[in-house]
């Protein structure tokens, strides 16, 4: 079973390659843990709403420090929620929709729908 809390050295020894679990290694506890944090859920929502399905990490506004944002992206990547690649000085992230749908059909869309509904309720309560 894949453990999202496990660390993978991404240094000279690995050629700087980022570890991405195979689709078969994505497990439900790690996936649910990754999606349980509001900041990580916002990253996933932003990627789901983006044109082309990919964004540079810095293009997603988060009210946290850069190291904290990097941690959240890493948790999502190690859980198999997102894929990342480096382009020059930018790290581009995209949702692994096909892999997640293959492994857990309907889960990602259900989570995104629930997050959208929750945001609508919060927005409505702020207006009253």
Residue 1 lies in a domain: no
Confidence tier at 12 by pLDDT (50, 70, 90): very low
Number of domains in the chain: 1
Q: Is residue 3 one of the residues assigned to a domain?
A: no
**DSSP annotation string for 40-86:** HHHHHHHHHHSGGGEEEGGGS--SS-HHHHHHHHHHHHHTTSEEEEE
Looking at the domain assignment, is residue 16 inside a domain? no
105-114: pLDDT as tens digits: 999 999 999 9
Which range marks the domain in which residue 88 is found? 22-127
pLDDT at 6 over 50: yes
CATH number of the CATH domain containing 69: 1.10.10.10
11 is a domain residue:
no
Predicted confidence (pLDDT) per residue in 21-75, tens digit: 999 999 999 999 999 999 999 999 999 999 888 999 999 999 999 999 999 999 9
pTM of the model: 0.84
Distances in whole angstroms, Cα of residue 68 to Cα of each of 34, 50, 122: 14, 22, 25
């Amino acid at each position: 079973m894949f453990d999202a809390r496990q660390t993978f050295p991404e240094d000279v020894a690995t050629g700087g390659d980022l570890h991405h679990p195979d689709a078969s290694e994505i497990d439900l506890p790690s996936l649910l843990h990754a999606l349980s944090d509001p900041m990580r859920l916002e990253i996933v929502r932003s990627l789901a709403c983006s044109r082309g399905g990919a964004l540079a990490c810095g293009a997603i506004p988060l009210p946290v420090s850069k190291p904290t944002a990097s941690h959240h992206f890493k948790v999502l990547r190690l859980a198999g929620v997102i894929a990342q690649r480096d382009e020059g000085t930018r790290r581009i992230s995209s949702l692994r929709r096909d892999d997640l749908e293959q492994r857990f059909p309907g889960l990602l869309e259900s989570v995104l729908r629930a997050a959208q509904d929750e945001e609508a309720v919060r927005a409505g309560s702020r207006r009253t």
